[in-house]
Amino acid sequence: MSEHHITPLKTYLIIASLLLFLSGVTVWVSYVDLGPLNIVVAMLVATVKASLVAFFFMHLLWDDKKNLTLFLMSLMFFGIFVTITLLDTEFRGDLGLNPEVKNPINNRAAFYDTLPLTDTHGHPVDGHSDDHDKDKDHH
Partner 1 sequence: MSENKKQNYLNHPKGLMSWILTLDHKRIGLMYLVSGILFFFLGGLLALVMRFELAAPGNDVISNEVYNNAYTLHGAIMIFLFIIPAIPGALGNILLPLMVGAKDVAFPRLNLASFYIYSFGALFAMYTIINGGVDTGWTFYTPYSTQSSSNVVPMTLGIFIIGFSSILTGLNFIATIHKMRIPGLTWYKLPLFVWALYGTSLVQITATPVLAITMVLLMLERFLGIGIFDPALGGDPVLYQHFFWFYSHPAVYIMILPAFGIISEIIPVHSRKKIWGYKFIAYSTLSIAFIGFLVWGHHMFTSGQSVFSQIVFSFITYFVGIPTGVKIFSWILTMYKGQVSFTPPMMYALAFLFLFTIGGLTGIFLGAVALDIHLHDTYFVVAHFHYVMQGGTIVAFLGGLHHWWPKSFGVMYNQTVANIAALGVFIGFNGTFFPQFLLGLRGMPRRYATYDEQFVELHSYSTFWSGILGLSIFLAIMNLFWSFIRKNKVDPGSNPWGGMSLEWTHTSSPPHPHNFEEEPVLQHGPYDYDKVIVEKTYNK
Q: Report the alpha-carbon distance of residue 30 to residue 137 in Å, rounded.
A: 53
- Out of 32, 95, 99, 114, which residue is the one contacting partner 1 (CB under 8 A)? 95
Among 112, 127, 135, 138, interactor with partner 1 by CB under 8 A: 112
Nearest Cα to Cα of residue 15 among 56, 68, 63, 58: 56
Residue 9, interface with partner 1 (CB under 8 A)?
Answer: no
**Taking contact as CB under 8 A, which single stretch among the options 25-33, 34-42, 48-56, 66-74 is the one that binds partner 1?**
66-74
Which phi and psi angles does 124 have, rounded to 5°?
-65, 145
Q: Which of 9, 27, 32, 105 binds partner 1 (CB under 8 A)?
A: 105
Tell me which amino acid residue 42 is.
A
- Give the other-Cβ count within 10 Å of 56's Cβ: 19
Spatial contact of 34 and 41, defined as CB atoms under 8 Å apart: yes
Selected binder of partner 1 within 69, 94, 100, 133 (CB under 8 A): 94
Q: How far is the CB of 65 from partner 1 (least distance, A)?
A: 13
